Structure 1
Amino acid sequence: MKATFTRRFNASLLASAIAVAFSAHAQEQTTEQEQATEQKIEAITVTAAKRSQVIYEVPIAMSAFSGEALASQGITDMTDVGKFVPNLNITGFSAGHTSSANPFIRGIGLQDHLITTDPGVSVYVDGVYLGRQVGQNWNLNNIERIEVLRGPQGTLYGRNSIGGAINIITKQPNAQDKTIVSVETGTRGRLKGDVFVNHGLSEDVSFNFNMGYNQRDGLGKFINLPNAEYDVGETQEMYGRVSVKYAPSKDFSLVYTADANDGKGGLRPYTVMIDEVPNGAYAQGGRWGVPFPFGPLTNADVAENIYDNATGTAAVSSVSNSARGQSLTADWNWTDTLSSKVILSNRSSQYKAGLDDDGTIYELDHYPEHGEADQTSVEFQVNGYVGDVDFVSGLYYFTEKGSNLQGEDSSFNGGPNLLSLHQKTTSKAVFVNLGMDVIEDLRVSGGVRYTMDKKVADADVGAALGRVFSEDNWNEWTFDLSANYTMDNGLNVYGSIQNGYQSGQYPARPYCLFGGDPACFSASDNIKAINYEMGVKGEVTADFSMSIAVFNTKFTDLPYQVSTTAEGGFNTSNLVVEQTSRGVEWESTAYFGDHFKLHSSVGFMDVDVQEQDGVKPVAPLTPKWTLSLSPSYSTTLASGAEVEFRVDYSYRDDMYGEPSSDEGRLTQLESRALTNFNVSYTPANDAYTVSLYGRNIFDERYDNARLNTGDYVLRILSNDASEFGVRFRTQF
């Protein structure tokens, strides 16, 4: 497969190079009048560096999607975004929940979801950090743009951004009266409706709100639970968001935003491989729980169809989630050269999920689970200019308190539980970033951040020790230094050194406590990352833009989550490693004539993990190659109506579902290639757009993760099957 892909990739690259060369030659032959025509490629303005800049001016590798681009590609959630960014892979498998989205950038992400684990890629919505990734509102229907920053972002984005950061920026209220209604229906029981309204109440006050409903049928049945409320993989969600803006002058504005979502449905598809595991206790006849089946478990005990589920435990057949959030953002322009910003936020989330790990009707390893988290954050910025120097500075405070409970009665008011886990995190930081134009075309910038973290955690796994308490503190300086030079042709060449930091983490499922040693529930050391990167990006011609980046990142004291079966439950410990990631990333947009456009992205990455105790770990959920191709063709009919044809192809190389690569490759995920299409029609008066769409049109079925516990392999399946339908959108 790799050889075939490489040949196809090389052929595609050669064809693209010839086409680009031909396009560039043709451009040189145009007249001065033709050269003066309007550029087709719109450079997106981003706030990746917490200041407004054209994307080509930002000295880091990043991708950006405008709201219009998201709509034209049919991208509606974070998982879809992960298909079209180089060296980004977004997967979902947390506790069998269908609402989780776990991004991995350049080999760094989050393998788990419990409160003692932290993501390596930070996600922000309008400047508010999302501490948890299960149960959040990932709907992208009222989005101004999305920015994906690759590489450590420790100075401006702080802790938990050692792999990168994702900024989601929603549409801000303004005085323009606008209503957008969209409806989507399709196969697999898809039904989605969404409305967005923006309205000016007065010269000083405006608001917008977005609300919607989304549902999709499942992929399988609970064959031993005839009264199950939902099918396997079935999803239903309601969501809403409202923003109110008060702007009495051009120098002051206040925006209050509240959002909420509620989701429910069936357990994510998964299956269990038992016979393939050498020396597994299941295959050898070992048992926990009741009733005891006669003889060892085999693959014949799980559902024959891998998208069905053979559990006999109703408590793990359904999932639910809810999240609530509110924020207040104040902007002041004190003078022409000095401004400040304050962002206050509070968020809460809850979920119910859990797996029946053996995947059979027998009551052996089933873990109903509840989780909740509450967070509060405050950020104060002072930004401006002093002479030729511009600066971004600020103070940051974050606190989070959360819990996870697993067991027969895993409700927060019930018990006993197989696992009771609590943690409170407090983080404080101060940061400053300076930049200046040394000469007209050369800009240098740099910054530092100091972070102090404290975690107080406790765990109870039913061992004789009872509840075990622990507390730890961390602090770290992070920095970045960069320079970018604008050449005569407008291209920007940049180089940067960035580092990142993540506080240590407690083990997620410390069933090691059955050994009688409370010290096994202790946190790892500071996690550090340093990245060296060079790149070129910009508009080569009015018809062609590109960006290319080469990077080398070293991570120290990086904890991998490794799970095994143990007395009492499912033990998850931290395997602390050193990791080096190096690679190259390419993105481009090219117009061939007035009607045909091609967007492409390619990522290649080589990851080396230091050997541990004679074992060579691998970076989990990290493909070596990532690729996307998005050709589109638009034409205007005699009536003035516009028709657009679009295809979106994405490829993710094979990868491992966990840090260990066993000899039988039981945890290896096969490569996947997904293809979407969209055909849209817009009449001459722009009254509406109607589209025929297809997602994953060849019905590629793939795995999200695999975990080898020593007794069995959990094979977490994607919920992303083929779907065809129609979408209607109107604006007035």
Structure 2
Amino acid sequence: MKSRISNLSSVAVAISTALISQIAIATEEDSGLERIEVTARKSVESLQEVPVAVTSISADELAEKGIEVLTEVQQFSPNTTLQRSRGTNSTITAFIRGVGQQDPLWGYEAGVGIYIDDVYIARPQGAVLDLLDIERVEVLRGPQGTLYGKNTVGGAIKYVTKEMSGDAELNVQGTMGLYNQRDIKVTGQYPIIEDKLYVGFGLASLQRDGYGEFLESDLDHQDEENYNKDVVAGRLTLEYRATDDLFFSLNWDKTQDDSNSKGGYRLLPSVLTEAPVPDSVYDSYTSLPTWNEVELEGISFKANWDVADNTSLKYVFSSRDSYSPTNIDFDNTALRIFDVPAIYDDEQKTHELQLNHYGDNYKFVSGLYYYDGESCGQFEAILEVLGQAIGVPGLTREVSGCSNSTSKAVYAQLSYDLSEKWSVTAGARYTKDEKEAKVNNGLIFATVYPESGWVDGYVRPEGDLVPTVLDDEDDWSKFTPRIGVEYQANDDLMFFTSFAQGFKSGTFNPRATTAEPAADPEEVDSFEIGMKSEWLDNRLRANITLFSLDHDDRQYISVLPSEDATELNQRLGNIGSSEATGIEAEFTYLATDNLLLTASFGYIDSDFKEVIDTDPETGQEFDKSDSFSISNTPDYTYNLGANYTIESDVGDFIINASYYYRDDYVLFEENSLLTQDGYGIANVSVNWYSTDADWYAGLHVKNLADQEYMIGGYQFVAPQPDGSYLPGLGGDNTLIGYYGDPRTISFTLGYQF
């Protein structure tokens, strides 16, 4: 660990020295880079003043790059993975610095927190947000346990919406593109009472045909498009400025995603069907209905009271519901070999009361937080072909249950200036979690779906079909500190170092087959050394962070071999620990008043230190860390970008180009059979803004070289020494890949009233 930190420190010193040497060629122009404001520490600050590794992308940047969904933000944040999950278009897989959560099953806690404004989104279903009426996106890297609480052991993603200006506004935007893309977005605001009461709204219809199709199915009258998009989203906001010191806002949002369930690409031929491996990675087979649904609805209320010139009090309430019936065909054949129709049903309510106080040489942030959530679900592992092979008409393993949790926390953080150059930051959070879980699990010797009518003519049998195997509760508490030291060398150069801790909540196994105990919380200890700097009369911005982290008590579902092919054999436990060291660097250079160059680089050296498992037959513990890798985490990522403005009599043209590269990575932690080789994505956009700033247009080409890259998968096969595979659960070669978007071209035209 020390040698890795030493090497990274040498790299950081070299970069810093090179930057300082550039002062000699500074230009005499007065213009410079714009100030970027963030709320990473729950108060509005300049990006360059915040001793936190954070990437902020403004609404203008997102629009000029043609960014449409939250997952695309991963291209601009080092050591960050944001992907659509397996089988659906709107479930997120998020990893930062090698820390995250891949399995989206109910009851599992995320490792990267997703926030809409000040509201925590507890579940990954529906968290692939389409960008509508947004101000900026912030990516906070590293544990954020002090200010943001549990389940931010990797970091946090903040989706910040626009606050209303008070003027009457209307923005209408349409987009057309390849694969019959046809999007309409309408946003606006209107003052009901001048300078007092405003209403804002946003509405989007986002439609696109599939990148591929379902080639064969035994079900008639279903949509054959694969990787399509069918989303309608709406947002309504009411803001009331009662006085200069008192502000209220009420927000409602709803999203209806009727995109088809994604079919995976078979990487191996099926041993039970004659269908070949598809020609396109976006084509698939299925024996399930192709429909899918994600319903999201939320309401939030915020009150902000400036008690005094240097003291404010804020209260935030939220209530969110999500419901998602989904069809995931694990084997991706026209036979019912390994089908998993499922339902996810989640509710959450949060309350947060925050007190901020500022003095001449200090900033103080504190608060109380309460979360109450219920996460329920059910899935059927349909193994009909296997059942028929053993002489029964069908075979289904049904798993259902709920995980109900409450979380209470109190937090405080103080930043204090010791002198004009030195300051310290110290904070802590105390969290108390309580969780109740119930799991039903058992075999049914028939083909069973979650509900009547799931397929044409199907009627679900009444009553409890499987027994309750777990009904338990547990609680955990954790004190998560943060301490840091900052040195402001001059107005444009700051160095900082910090220690931060985070934890991910303990949890019960939602796939439990026995009354097994809950897994303990995960913990992450992180050290950072960083620099925030601006050079060349504020024309060059360079922010560099070195980090190391220890990730202990990692929760993991262990899949063990068994002679019984009907068993899933999934045990949840704290199996071991991992460590990582790395560097993150972000540069912005205003080469001329019309040319902006950007670059970001992330490197991480991460591996498992210890993975302890128990042999189910002998009861002996053993270390199997040699078979484990950190998933969804390339050793390095980088992004190079250029933005050039051409001024003309008909308006401004902005040409934007970028190249994003991800090194190779594995998809699974244990004995991963799915590895994505390193790949690069080139994007080009041309934007136009009229002289009156009312009309605008954009032409966006993404993934210019049409790269194919894997973002998810399933592996239920047993590799053999000769390179062949033995069939896994269900009796087939289930090795499946899901892929990112192909080359797309779109044209956007908009008008602002």
TM-score range, shorter chain: 0.7 to 0.9
1:641 aligns with 2:651: yes
Query: Which residue of 108, 112, 128 maps to 1:117?
Result: 108
Q: Is the 8 A contact 2:331 2:734 kept in 1?
A: no
1:419 aligns with 2:399: yes
Supply the distance in 1 between the matched residues of 2:481 and 2:267 (Cα, whole angstroms). 46
1:235 aligns with 2:225: no
Query: Which residue of 524, 529, 541 maps to 2:524?
Result: 529
1:338 aligns with 2:340: no
Q: Which secondary structure does the structure 1 equivalent of 2:226 belong to?
A: coil
Deviation at 1:382, TM superposition (A): 1.3
Supply the distance in 2 between the matched residues of 1:263 and 1:569 (Cα, whole angstroms). 33
Which sits farther off after the overlay, 150-159 or 337-346?
A: 337-346
Supply the distance in 1 between the matched residues of 2:244 and 2:483 (Cα, whole angstroms). 33
Q: Partner of 2:204 in structure 1?
A: 212
1:323-722 superposed matches below 5 A: 323-385=296-358, 388-407=361-380, 418-462=398-442, 466-488=468-490, 490-510=492-512, 513=513, 518-519=514-515, 521-541=516-536, 542-563=538-559, 567-568=565-566, 570-574=568-572, 576-612=575-611, 613-615=622-624, 616=626, 617-637=628-648, 639=649, 641-661=651-671, 666-710=673-717, 711=728, 712-722=733-743
Cα deviation digits, residues 635-678 of structure 1 (max 9, x gap) = 112x252111111221111111000235xxx2212222111110
Q: Is the 8 A contact 2:710 2:740 kept in 1?
A: no
Supply the distance in 1 between the matched residues of 2:716 and 2:517 (Cα, whole angstroms). 22
Supply the distance in 2 between the matched residues of 1:18 and 1:399 (Cα, whole angstroms). 50
1:179 aligns with 2:170: yes
1:164 aligns with 2:155: yes
Q: Is the 8 A contact 1:538 1:547 kept in 2?
A: yes
Deviation at 1:715, TM superposition (A): 2.6
Which residue identity lines up with residue 573 of structure 1 in the other structure? R
Q: Is the 8 A contact 1:482 1:494 kept in 2?
A: yes
TM-score scaled to structure 2, two decimals? 0.85
Identity of aligned residues (%): 27
Q: Is the 8 A contact 1:582 1:605 kept in 2?
A: yes
Q: Is the 8 A contact 1:508 1:572 kept in 2?
A: no
Which residue identity lines up with residue 328 of structure 1 in the other structure? F
Q: Partner of 2:97 in structure 1?
A: 106
Q: Is the 8 A contact 2:198 2:238 kept in 1?
A: yes
Question: Structure 2: 5+ residue runs without aligned partners?
Answer: 1-11, 383-394, 444-465, 612-621, 718-727
Query: Would you say how many aligned residue pairs link Structure 1 and Structure 2?
Result: 674
Which residue identity lines up with residue 640 of structure 2 in the other structure? L
Cα deviation digits, residues 289-324 of structure 1 (max 9, x gap) = xxxxxxx4378565454422222232xx22110100
Deviation at 1:19, TM superposition (A): 11
Q: Which secondary structure does the structure 2 equivalent of 1:381 belong to?
A: strand
Which residue identity lines up with residue 743 of structure 2 in the other structure? S
Query: Which residue of 60, 64, 69 maps to 2:61?
Result: 69
TM-score scaled to structure 1, two decimals? 0.88
Q: Partner of 1:286 in structure 2?
A: none
Q: Partner of 1:308 in structure 2?
A: 283
Cα deviation digits, residues 598-657 of structure 1 (max 9, x gap) = 1111000010202433422111111111111111211112x2521111112211111110
Deviation at 1:725, TM superposition (A): 2.1
Which sits farther off after the overlay, 46-55 or 222-231?
A: 222-231
Supply the distance in 2 between the matched residues of 1:534 and 1:23 (Cα, whole angstroms). 22
Deviation at 1:246, TM superposition (A): 0.8
Which residue identity lines up with residue 641 of structure 1 in the other structure? G
| Residues 1:572 and 1:191: Cα distance change in structure 2 (over 3 Å) | farther
Cα deviation digits, residues 569-609 of structure 1 (max 9, x gap) = 64543362201111000001112222221111100001020
Cα deviation digits, residues 317-361 of structure 1 (max 9, x gap) = 221101000000001111123211100110000112232222212
Q: Partner of 2:455 in structure 1?
A: none
| Residues 1:171 and 1:299: Cα distance change in structure 2 (over 3 Å) | farther
| Residues 1:369 and 1:571: Cα distance change in structure 2 (over 3 Å) | farther
Supply the distance in 2 between the matched residues of 1:671 and 1:149 (Cα, whole angstroms). 25
Supply the distance in 2 between the matched residues of 1:230 and 1:439 (Cα, whole angstroms). 67
Cα deviation digits, residues 393-452 of structure 1 (max 9, x gap) = 11100011021111289xxxxx98711121101111011111111111222111111101
Q: Which secondary structure does the structure 1 equivalent of 2:287 belong to?
A: coil
Q: Which secondary structure does the structure 1 equivalent of 2:26 belong to?
A: helix
Deviation at 1:501, TM superposition (A): 1.0
Which residue identity lines up with residue 571 of structure 2 in the other structure? S
Which residue identity lines up with residue 382 of structure 1 in the other structure? L
Deviation at 1:679, TM superposition (A): 0.8
Q: Is the 8 A contact 1:375 1:399 kept in 2?
A: yes
Which residue identity lines up with residue 462 of structure 1 in the other structure? G
Supply the distance in 2 between the matched residues of 1:22 and 1:553 (Cα, whole angstroms). 32
Supply the distance in 2 between the matched residues of 1:25 and 1:713 (Cα, whole angstroms). 61
Q: Is the 8 A contact 1:534 1:549 kept in 2?
A: yes
Q: Partner of 1:48 in structure 2?
A: 40
Q: Partner of 1:38 in structure 2?
A: 31
RMSD (CA atoms): 2.5
Cα deviation digits, residues 211-252 of structure 1 (max 9, x gap) = 111011112222223532241111100001111111121110
Q: Partner of 2:746 in structure 1?
A: 725
Q: Is the 8 A contact 2:145 2:501 kept in 1?
A: yes
Q: Which secondary structure does the structure 2 equivalent of 1:69 belong to?
A: helix
1:85-100 superposed matches below 5 A: 85-94=77-86, 96-100=87-91
Which sits farther off after the overlay, 43-52 or 399-408?
A: 399-408
Q: Which secondary structure does the structure 2 equivalent of 1:318 belong to?
A: coil
Supply the distance in 1 between the matched residues of 2:559 and 2:749 (Cα, whole angstroms). 46
Which residue identity lines up with residue 120 of structure 2 in the other structure? Y
| Residues 1:115 and 1:682: Cα distance change in structure 2 (over 3 Å) | same
Q: Is the 8 A contact 1:230 1:265 kept in 2?
A: no
